[in-house]
Chains A and B, each alone.
Chain A
């Protein structure tokens, strides 16, 4: 039996998780090309059944939510929009872009000129058939005079036009080999041309909206004529906002909901023991937790200090104590190991008080006050992480002042403003987005203020490069530059932890978001 067959058998018999299987494949050098068919054949083994009401309890919504895609910011509205609408591009469980309403695409060399084929025969819930005009409108609302968060990523579009009813052509400002992934952004969902009534959205999704009370619940009803075969199997789907992690857990345990997102890592062990429940763990795709210093401000303009802080943080201890092991150590940049361009040969930075002390001494800062601002408003356990950081620095004879500041207004008043603070970054679908948004010279959110023309040049070149090996070399170099010189201590990348009742099927981990890419309403069914 070959190594590959071995892995395949283990995967199919359930001994290996999809994630381990994928990394196993990578390890033996099996190409990504053959995996989708294998994965889908295994997923199709069980035929979905139709019926039942799926009740989901979710964090990530508020009383001020709206279905207008230009306002989406968190999980509840992402999941809700995907229940009644479709995106342009979907991602398979390994994170590769696949066609959704844009069925397929093709780029001319240089990745500047793209053509996209619009899927035929798809009907909106009002009976209208999908055409290229609907797609153009749904993209246009995020461009020009708008407050849409997707405006930034669409700025690279120089021209977008209809070729015919089922084809559009896009010209970019400069080449971008990852452009289809950009169109997979969760803000880009499709409504009919000219649509404006966001209280009653019309989409091509598997369900229609029955009722919406912002911050309370959304109810969806099955359409029955969904264009994706075998999907959207529940008669009704109810998404309830449950902000408190303990309340979500209790609701799942007492059977009041069938699925919840964002389980608390510290208590998830105990949930795993519950025979009625199924905990789905997606390793290392969650939030990237960082302490970020602004390299343009004293004393953080001193790279020896930055290195001292990077060596002086006990990542293992934080992961053990705060995340109960449900996280992977960060390597001081926000790209995760699932990204094809992750630098696998750069050694993982480890806690080393001696090295930290050495660099601190070399920095010549002596007793300069180093203050880290942190808050429960950054993320719930930011203060705990900072406390452990403070303590691990002590062993290197570095004194860190931890200042807990108001949760309210944290992103307005602290982040991007103070020299050293806590921040988390979410996953970005492509390496290019990570490099240009988090570290790019022109990015408004370059929170370390680390701006290097040489770095920007590499990123720009890599973006248009279609040769994957050349790209990989460039992105690897980028990661080394950030980790060795940048202002960011990225110490942990958490796992997504979802909880399901055992009777909910179709709950595989997904490389992009939790709750099977927030599409559990569409992808799941009751056993």
Chain B
């Protein structure tokens, strides 16, 4: 079992390495360059050439990759091309903000959706099931910023319950942060709930047709008892994997939410980096995102191996 887990972790690291190469290469081939993006309408061919040389864009790509990679694994992402700030100093607080918001949303969304998914499974075909089903489908039928606007309209503008600006600052206390970030957390919760809810429900139900579950029913156990004690532990692996995927989404996919709620996370930093073609910034953000994604997936796989007896000894 430990060997399986070790292999999974090594594979995760290899994946991350491959991603780092790809991110580097792909940012290099993005059309347009930082020089003309930064200088905009004010650029002349000679100012462009000066700026390019200043940034070291005239050296070969592979030397720059290895320099970048070895510094990056030590946490040094270099200096932003556009404003000459040390990237890690900008990135770190933003990454913590992103993690805070993702964690906040996950703490609400995961228990809620897994719980509702189980309730729906217990009451399969009944009104509760159908309502949960349709409501969760509704939330995925609209773009995320639309949910955000509706929440702002009602909870911030009409009834002044929560602030519409969710900017968190270094000097804010934890409870202040919770209050300020309430609306984006609620929006994210609605976004990821449908998927987790449906998957929990389906996984539990698909286990329900297994012979040992029929056996449990034949013993005369109640439906809820069978689901909670017999079906759920065996359905855990796919649920974990779906939860991991959605957690990754909470970290990686929240750019739009950050823009609407003016939340200083990594996503906005990357978008600004991309539009200004600030390659070190884009690469740093890309690597952080990829690391979060691969890390979460690896943890999910390891957990799945741990909880599922059949996966502990693969063929």
**Footprint of B on A, CB under 8 Å?**
57, 62-66, 68, 71, 73, 145-152, 198-199, 213-217, 240-244, 246-247, 250-251, 253-257, 408-409, 411-413, 444-445
Interfacial residues of chain B within 3-52, with CB under 8 A of chain A in the complex = 30-33, 35-45, 47-48, 50-51
Contacts of A73 in B (CB 8 A): 40, 42
CA distance A497 to B4 in the complex (A): 62
CA distance A255 to B156 in the complex (A): 10
CA distance A240 to B168 in the complex (A): 12
Contacts of A251 in B (CB 8 A): 164-165, 262
Contacts of B90 in A (CB 8 A): 63, 213-214
Contacts of A444 in B (CB 8 A): 43-45
Contacts of B163 in A (CB 8 A): 254, 256
Which of A64, A146, A243 is within 8 Å of B47, CB to CB? A146
Give the segment of B118-126, B136-144, B272-280 that binds chain A.
B272-280
Contacts of B268 in A (CB 8 A): 63, 215
The reply on B209 being an interface residue by CB < 8 A is: no
CB pair B262–A64 under 8 Å, yes or no, is: no
CB pair A152–B83 under 8 Å, yes or no, is: no
CA distance A408 to B261 in the complex (A): 22
Q: List 24 A-B contacts (CB under 8 A).
A: A57-B165, A63-B269, A63-B281, A64-B273, A64-B281, A66-B83, A68-B83, A73-B42, A147-B35, A147-B54, A149-B41, A151-B44, A152-B42, A198-B84, A216-B264, A247-B165, A247-B262, A250-B152, A250-B153, A253-B157, A254-B157, A257-B165, A413-B32, A444-B45
CB pair A213–B264 under 8 Å, yes or no, is: yes
The reply on B149 being an interface residue by CB < 8 A is: yes
Which of B30, B80, B165 is within 8 Å of A242, CB to CB? B165
Which of B37, B80, B164, B264 is within 8 Å of A250, CB to CB? B164
CA distance A63 to B33 in the complex (A): 17
How many CB-defined contacts (below 8 Å) exist between A and B?
Answer: 135
Interfacial residues of chain B within 174-199, with CB under 8 A of chain A in the complex = none
The reply on B85 being an interface residue by CB < 8 A is: yes
CB pair B44–A247 under 8 Å, yes or no, is: no
The reply on B92 being an interface residue by CB < 8 A is: no
B158 CB → nearest A CB, Å: 9
CA distance A148 to B47 in the complex (A): 8
Residue of B whose beta carbon sits closest to that of A409: B32
Contacts of A250 in B (CB 8 A): 152-153, 156-157, 164
Contact with A along B55-72 (1 / 0, CB 8 A): 000000000000000000
B172 CB → nearest A CB, Å: 13
Contact with A along B271-315 (1 / 0, CB 8 A): 011111010010000000000000000000000000000000000
CB pair A240–B41 under 8 Å, yes or no, is: no
B142 CB → nearest A CB, Å: 15
CA distance A444 to B42 in the complex (A): 9
The reply on B234 being an interface residue by CB < 8 A is: no
B258 CB → nearest A CB, Å: 10
CB pair A214–B157 under 8 Å, yes or no, is: no
Contacts of B153 in A (CB 8 A): 250
Contacts of B51 in A (CB 8 A): 147
A186 CB → nearest B CB, Å: 12
CB pair A216–B272 under 8 Å, yes or no, is: no
CA distance A240 to B264 in the complex (A): 11
CB pair A151–B40 under 8 Å, yes or no, is: no
B152 CB → nearest A CB, Å: 5
